[in-house]
Amino acid sequence: MRIEKKLHSEISTAIRSIYNQEADLGKIQIQKTRKEFTGDFTVVVFMLLAYSKKSPEQTASDLGEYLKANVIEVSDYNVVKGFLNISLSDKFWMDFFAECFSQDNFGFTSTEANSKKVVIEYSSPNTNKPLHLGHIRNNLIGHSVSQILKACGNEVVQVNLVNDRGIHICKSMVAWEETGMGETPEQNGIKGDRLVGNYYVRFDQEYKKQIAELVAGGMPEEQAKEEADWMKKARNMLKKWERGNQKILDTWKMMNDWVYEGFDKTYADLGIRFDKMYYESQTYLHGKSIVLKGLKQGDLKQKPDGTVFLDLTEYGMDEKVLLRADGTSVYMTQDIGTAVIRYDDFKFEEMIYVVGNEQDYHFKVLSIVLDKLEFPWSNRLTHLSYGMVELPEGKMKSREGTVVDADELIEEMIQTARSNSEELGKLEGFSTEETDKIHKIIALGALKYFILKVDSKKNITFNPKESIDFNGNTGPFIQYTGARINSLLKKAADQNISENSSLRAENLSHGEISLIKLIYAFPDSVKEAGEKRNPSEIANYAYELAKEFNRMYQELPILKEENAASKNLRIALSTKTGLILKSALSLLGIEVPERM
């Protein structure tokens, strides 16, 4: 039993004993004591005054005295206004650590029969460009939240919906057909996703040029955007694609295959995987059939030009188009079809979409549309909205070619890790193969940690050099702490020193107690991260744990400690801290090198 549950029960007993009242358990609030106050757990007393009929301070003192006298784990208390701060005994902390030391997967909840089935969709790239920095944040959040939800005991299915059709895909195809002269990735050694992305940029450049020429000839700009030659070709190509034109389908498949090969390499470098892939080209027709059925049943409306829409004015919104006048699909149509297929596949209890906050409106409407179309699970959809990633020099734009290519960024991170390591002399004596492997682990650890340590909802400015620092709140600092622990334990093994099962020590130091308290907090950190769908809870926990271990490491002897019980405890603390750091970082998709 977690001590919070016992304290909760004991406070209820105290109210009954002192005030002869039966407490509403929901009014007993226990939280972790804030760092600026003395204590381990704090009881909020204000809601309990109805039972005591006394002042907050006197009520807190009454409860504190009772707990100190009757609960063996409570060693002391103090009162700050209407808050009762409870301190637990060294014996409690020692007993806890002895119990948790031998527990495998400490902090994780095993999947049980009543676990929740969660489907989480992330990545969702377009096949008209390579993955970029924004995709990296999406993938890292999606992968990390998946691992955290698994650690909380849920059954998680990780899926990817590839946006492989639509007007944006046709733009790259038009530019390739018009100017590519049959160019392939093999001809110039460029990754397929990069090659296709170049043609997407080329389309935008030529499209703007054509608009400018039409405007210069006296055409209004809005009309010019519609009449530009390449835009008309892209729209015509999309119509032919949906009608099954074989020549266009062959070009589409060839160019998409180039992109998929490029995606696979980037995913492998990032350590990203999926249980199932979905493709919009395979789901949009199902979405169209559902929309047409809803129109026939009267759930949807149709304009004279053939546009099918849902009137959302009762929700304070506008009309939502579900099929264009020419019969082609929009994103919403595809998402409807995909959601229905996915529910049929997994019968999920929750479907999480990891998508940037610019799509907040889209997913709000998706739930409403599915509800109007009478799908009873429409309220099980969750949009895990996240902020944008910018660089110090500003925003990125795919069409203008100013995005940061994911592959280039990873390579830049590896080079920065190499330069930093060489400057600090940390990998002297390692083989070339070892250093290359460690540099990549450090680089990816730095990238992932820098992005995931920030609350997902916030925008971030990514600075590659700042992320790779062996000091401060960075991935390499935590990785280095893990490697330091590995080195310590190796030295202990070389000296035939190891912890034994008798974990007992008297007069625990402040450093030892502080570290044990942080170890105790790990399951709560995992649980909170799962409830909030927020990897930053884990990232910042790992940083605090690493800091606390390094403080103990600097202040207390470990292998040179003369007291056998203290040496045994500190080695055990080092062992457990190393395992928890590894577990915590694994939830972020980060490796810990054996040495660095």
pLDDT digits (tens, 9 = 90+) for 552-594: 999 999 999 998 889 999 999 999 999 999 999 999 999 999 8
Percent of the chain with pLDDT over 90: 80
Q: pTM value?
A: 0.92
pLDDT of residue 396: 42
Task: Please give the backbone phi and psi of residue 579, each rounded to the nearest 5 degrees, phi first.
Answer: -65, -40
Strands 460-461 and 389-390, how do they pair? Answer: parallel
pLDDT of residue 172: 97
The CATH label, of 1.20.120.850, 3.30.1360.70, 3.40.120.10, 1.20.58.1030, for the domain at 3-88 is: 3.30.1360.70
What is the pLDDT of the chain when averaged over all its residues? 92
Strands 117-121 and 41-44, how do they pair? Answer: unpaired
On whether the CB atoms of residues 89 and 75 are closer than 8 A, the answer is yes
The answer on pLDDT for 501 being more than 70 is no
Q: What CATH architecture applies to the domain 122-390?
A: 3-Layer(aba) Sandwich (3.40)
| CATH 3.30.1360.70 domain range(s) in the chain | 3-88
**What is the C-alpha separation between 24 and 9, in angstroms, rounded?**
11
Nearest to 325 by CA among 237, 239, 223: 239
pLDDT of residue 398: 43
The answer on pLDDT for 176 being more than 90 is yes
| CATH 3.40.50.620 domain range(s) in the chain | 122-390
**What is the C-alpha separation between 55 and 303, in angstroms, rounded?**
68
DSSP secondary structure letter of residue 378: G
The residues, ordered by sequence, that sit 6+ positions from 220 with a Cβ below 8 Å of its Cβ are: none
**Per mean pLDDT, which range of 58-67, 493-502, 584-593 is the poorest?**
493-502
Strands 155-162 and 117-121, how do they pair? Answer: parallel
Q: Which helix (H) or strand (E) covers residue 247, if one does?
A: helix 246-270
- Can you name the residues that pair with 321 across neighbouring β-strands? 309
pLDDT of residue 404: 80
pLDDT tens digits, 204-236: 999 999 999 999 999 999 999 999 999 999 999
SS3 34: coil
**Could you report how far apart the first and last alpha carbons of the chain are, in Å?**
39
On whether the CB atoms of residues 75 and 88 are closer than 8 A, the answer is yes
pLDDT tens digits, 180-192: 999 999 998 999 9
**Per mean pLDDT, which range of 132-146, 423-437, 461-475 is the poorest?**
423-437
pLDDT, average across residues 106-117: 82
pLDDT of residue 400: 47
Nearest to 464 by CA among 481, 450, 480: 450
**What is the C-alpha separation between 567 and 563, in angstroms, rounded?**
6
| CATH 1.10.730.10 domain range(s) in the chain | 406-587
Per-residue tokens: 246: 């074989």
**What is the C-alpha separation between 595 and 463, in angstroms, rounded?**
26
The answer on pLDDT for 112 being more than 70 is no
Sorting pLDDT into bands at 50, 70 and 90, what band is 399?
Answer: very low
SS3 444: helix
**What is the C-alpha separation between 84 and 594, in angstroms, rounded?**
44
pLDDT of residue 91: 93
pLDDT of residue 114: 67
On whether the CB atoms of residues 48 and 27 are closer than 8 A, the answer is yes
Percent of the chain with pLDDT over 70: 96
Q: Which residues of 397-426 are buried (b: 16+ CB within 10 A; e: fewer)?
A: ebbebebbbbbebbebbbebbbebbeeeeb
DSSP secondary structure letter of residue 47: G
- Can you name the residues that pair with 311 across neighbouring β-strands? 319
**Per mean pLDDT, which range of 221-225, 426-430, 481-485, 526-530 is the poorest?**
426-430
Number of other residues whose CB lies within 10 A of the CB of residue 491: 12
**What is the C-alpha separation between 49 and 27, in angstroms, rounded?**
10
Alpha helices in 35-132 (DSSP H): 49-52, 56-70, 90-101
**Per mean pLDDT, which range of 146-150, 293-297, 316-320 is the poorest?**
316-320
pLDDT, average across residues 445-457: 95
Nearest to 583 by CA among 109, 97, 142: 109
The answer on pLDDT for 7 being more than 80 is yes
- Can you name the residues that pair with 355 across neighbouring β-strands? 385
On whether the CB atoms of residues 581 and 547 are closer than 8 A, the answer is no
**What is the C-alpha separation between 212 and 221, in angstroms, rounded?**
8
pLDDT of residue 403: 67
**What is the C-alpha separation between 127 and 481, in angstroms, rounded?**
40
pLDDT of residue 389: 86
Q: Where are the beta strands (DSSP E) in 454-536?
A: 460-461
What's the half-sphere exposure (Cβ side, CA atoms, 13 Å) at 446? 31
On whether the CB atoms of residues 373 and 337 are closer than 8 A, the answer is no
Sorting pLDDT into bands at 50, 70 and 90, what band is 250?
Answer: very high
Secondary-structure class of domain 406-587 per CATH: mainly alpha
CA 337 to chain centre: 26
What's the half-sphere exposure (Cβ side, CA atoms, 13 Å) at 168? 14
